[in-house]
Amino acid sequence: MFRPALAALMVLSTGCLVYDSDRIDPGPVNLPPYITWAEAGCYWDGYGGDYVWYFEADVDDPDGPGDVIAVYADVYDDWSGDWIDGFELYWYDGITWFSDWWESSTWLDCSYPYNVVEFSAYDVYEAYDAVDVVPYMEW
């Protein structure tokens, strides 16, 4: 006795797999972070009796702001290109990263007008973005 339902079930459940060797799975796609705004500067703090250097950046990431794991500010001499000092920024709120330092604890000089600050932001896959800014100087 022929049972069409059983025959259809047998045809559909053959367990045949098709493998296409020309297709390569790229794995997870990571997009790099991007710095939307950055500012650096130096000002006199009369209460502390010293200049204060500050570094602030807004860093977003298409994979979410939690994908950003590190933000740095490196200060260079704009004339010679020499690296002067570097600072780690700390997550402050949302996409904002911030750090400030007494000038006496750095190699920086607020009276030197030729500094340039390079901000760099890294995500968990080491993709990055970088921007340069001229710091605000209060003399």
**Whole-structure pTM value:** 0.78
Evaluate whether 51 touches 103 at the Cβ level (below 8 Å): yes
* Distance in angstroms (rounded) separating the CA atoms of residues 59 and 75: 19
Q: How many CB atoms lie within 10 A of CB 18?
A: 4
Q: Which CATH superfamily is domain 34-137 in?
A: Immunoglobulins (2.60.40.10)
Helix-then-strand count for the chain, H and E: 1, 8
The pLDDT assigned to 104 comes to: 97
pLDDT digits (tens, 9 = 90+) for 65-106: 889 999 999 999 999 999 999 999 999 999 999 999 999 999
pLDDT digits (tens, 9 = 90+) for 27-58: 678 899 999 999 999 999 999 999 999 999 99
Q: In what order do the strands lie in the sheet with 50-60?
A: 128-133, 115-123, 68-77, 83-93, 96-102, 50-60, 34-45, 136-137
Comparing 26 with 131, the larger pLDDT belongs to 131
The pLDDT assigned to 138 comes to: 76
Comparing 129 with 15, the larger pLDDT belongs to 129
Comparing 124 with 23, the larger pLDDT belongs to 124
The pLDDT assigned to 3 comes to: 61
DSSP of 80-128:
T--EEEEEEEEEEETTEEEEEEEGGGSS--TT-S-EEEEEEEEETT--E
